Structure 1
Amino acid sequence: MALGLEWQLILELLLLGCVTGFLAGLLGVGGGMMMVPFITLLLTAKDFPPEHVIKMAVATSLATICFTSIASVRAQHARGAVRWDIFRLLTPGIVVGSMLGAQLAKWLPAATLALLFAAFVGFSATQMLRDIKPKPTRQLPGTPGMLAAGAVIGLLAALVGAGGAFVSVPFMVASNVAIHTAVGTSAALGFPIALAGTIGYVIAGWSLTGMPAGTLGFLYLPALLVVSLASVAMAPVGVRTAHRLNVRHLRRMFALLLYGLAGYMLMKGLG
């Protein structure tokens, strides 16, 4: 890649990190829903291997969550919003599921992964637009059930490069966990999901040949560094801004953006 293109890509990744970090702080949404399609778009434009681009985007999105989740967990813990007993029961299954999800992603065709991501983003956008909230219908399962639930959460999160809140929060709320506690506990679960998923994608892509410079397995290190620094810096700005704006209307506008990103990934999958 020419030097000019390298600097152009760094600036584009910097902008992406700023926007995703700001929106995560403003709207309380995970950055993966934006990060995966935009990293896919940027790397595709730079002629990265098309069969690996989406997997690189998912792996890089997961890796950024390792950094961005730390500040969120500290804030949620300080508010007493993390159920560490639930965290301990879900984490073993999450680690296994996230590792397996990365190995599964290696063998899935890029088109299938793109379609899966499009479905995930479309579903999340619909929930956000309609302000759908799960209703308590049961109690938390026993240890085997919690391990199984953790494995499902980790598997799905690793396939789409997200922190797992789209599954873990509805699961906990439906199990009679208060919504603010479910959100806080989900923030804590984002770290083991991201760490195990990132390690899984590094292992999954370790033996591949012909990968671009700066990759570690499927992980694209320049994007990880630039996006993480920018998003961590901008998230607090988004949080402060949220106190001065009507976030409910903004979430609906963001949902429309997500439909557009889902459409892009759908085209990637069908094209």
Structure 2
Amino acid sequence: MIETIETAGWVAIVIGLFATGAVAGTMAGLLGVGGGIVIVPVLSWILTFTGFPSDLSQHMAVATSLATIVPTAISSSRAHHKRGGIDFAVLRSWGPAVVLGALAGGILARYISGDVLRMVFGFVALAVAVNMSVPKTLVIADRLPHPVIASPIGGVIGLISSLMGIGGGTLAVPSQTAFSVPIRRAVGTASALGLLIAVPGVLGFIWSGWSVDGRPPLSLGYVSLPAAACIVPLTWLFAPYGAKLAHTVNQRVLKLCFAVFLALTAVKMLLSVFG
């Protein structure tokens, strides 16, 4: 089907990718989610529209999303760091396990179907949306957990975030607030954790998809380089704008924005599996 798309169709796709990058960059800075919450469903739809199999399109969407998160996370993290919004104690405690979990997710993706990836994305995002939308966020303790507990938490965040194609905010923000980290600081730290997820995660997806047939032209493993090239410049430009908003928006409003975007994306993803 890819050969039958007219020039106007390709122009519309490119414009759509640019718009996706702008929204994803803003979301990355505002909510610490790395933009994947927007990028994954849009890329999955575009790849399906151009005629690629459902399983392949979801893997490509997740992997390409992780690739775009690398520069976005750098831009967003720098903006949050300038405002003192990154908790380095969390990075030291959770970081190593996050990296290992993300790498494992990218490698395991080779053996997981596209629908399973969609269900992981949908159910986890919906659960987190419900948690973030309630008036009182779940609080487990008034301090960060002991390293013995922190490592498994980081590993799970890295693994699931890699399989979802997101930068970590979906799990890292509520996980931090559960240990009494203020929401703005949790968002800033999640943007840094996004880098620790995206780099090993995308390497795993490159390895997993290296010998897979039927991938789009100019793909590196499961990563679509043209799609990433369209999205990255806009995410880079808009991430600092989102980070600026994160430090001016009311905390309750910030949580509700996070929940609404998660819920909408989760429902759309689950409908694509069960609808």
1:123 aligns with 2:123: no
Distance in 2 of aligned mates of 1:141 and 1:245: 28
Distance 1:89 1:243, change over 3 A: closer
**Distance (Å, rounded) in 1 between the aligned partners of 2:124 and 2:14:** 28
**In the superposition, relative to structure 1, how do residues 25 and 170 fare at CA in structure 2: closer, same or farther (>3 Å)?**
closer
How far, CA to CA, are the matches of 1:238 and 1:79 in structure 2?
A: 13
SS of 1:175 mapped into structure 2:
coil
Deviation at 1:256, TM superposition (A): 4.8
Q: Does 1:233 align with 2:237?
A: yes
Query: Is the CA contact (8 Å cut-off) linking 1:111 and 1:270 kept in structure 2?
Result: no
Tell me the SS of whatever aligns to 1:134.
coil
Take 2:164 and 2:77, find their aligned partners in 1: how far apart are those partners?
21
- Mapped partners of 2:230, 2:29: distance in 1: 18
Q: 1:53 aligns with which of 44, 57, 77?
A: 57
In the alignment, which of 138, 141, 144 is matched to residue 134 of structure 1?
138
Match of 1:89 in 2: 93
TM-score (norm 1): 0.86
For residue 167 of structure 2, give the secondary structure of its aligned residue in structure 1: coil
1:62 and 2:66 equivalent?
Answer: yes
Gap change, CA 1:80 and 1:206, over 3 Å in 2: same
- Sequence identity (%): 37
SS of 2:68 mapped into structure 1: helix
Listed one character per residue, the Cα deviations across residues 36-81 of structure 1 (whole Å, up to 9, x for unaligned) are 1111111111112322111111111111111111122112222333
CA shift digits 1:105-162 (9 cap, x unpaired)? 2211111111121113322433444355232426433333332222111001101111
3-state DSSP of counterpart to 1:266: helix
Structure 2 CA distance, aligned partners of 1:167 and 1:27? 11
Is the Cα contact below 8 Å between 1:59 and 1:219 reproduced in 2? yes
SS of equivalent to 1:145 = helix
Q: Is 1:161 the counterpart of 2:165 in the alignment?
A: yes
Unpaired runs of 5+ residues, structure 1, are none
Contact 1:110-1:269 at 8 Å conserved across structures: no
What is the deviation of 1:197?
Answer: 0.6
Contact 2:32 2:191 in 1 (8 A): no
Q: TM-score, normalised on structure 2?
A: 0.85
Q: Secondary structure of 2:54's partner?
A: coil
More deviation, 175-184/62-71 = 175-184
Residues 176 and 109 of structure 1, relative CA distance in 2, 3 Å threshold:
same
Q: Which residue of 1 aligns with 2:43?
A: 39
**Are the counterparts in 2 of residues 17 and 230 from structure 1 also a CA contact under 8 Å?**
yes
> What secondary structure is seen at the aligned counterpart in 1 of 2:173?
helix
For residues 243 and 142 of structure 1, what CA distance do their matches in structure 2 show?
29
1:9 equivalent in alignment to 2:31: no
Runs (5+) with no aligned partner, structure 2 = none
- Give the aligned residue type for 2:234: A
How many angstroms does 1:33 deviate by?
A: 1.4
Deviation at 1:14, TM superposition (A): 1.1
Classify 1:234/1:85 alpha carbon distance in 2 versus 1 (closer, same or farther; 3 Å).
closer
Root-mean-square deviation (CA, aligned residues, Å) is: 2.8
8 Å contact kept, 2:23–2:38: no
Are 1:262 and 2:274 matched, yes or no?
Answer: no
Q: Is 1:200–2:187 an aligned residue pair?
A: no
Q: Secondary structure at the match of 1:52?
A: helix
Q: Residue in 2 aligned with 1:217?
A: 221
Aligned partner of 1:102 in structure 2 is 106
Q: CA deviation at 1:214?
A: 1.8
Distance 1:64 1:189 in 2: 14
Q: Deviation per CA, 1:136-193: give whole Å up to 9, x if none.
A: 4264333333322221110011011111122223333333444443332222111111
Q: In the alignment, which residue of structure 2 is the partner of 1:79?
A: 83
Q: 1:227 to 1:91 in 2, by over 3 A?
A: same
User: What is the match of residue 174 of structure 1?
Assistant: 178
2:193 matched to 1:189? yes
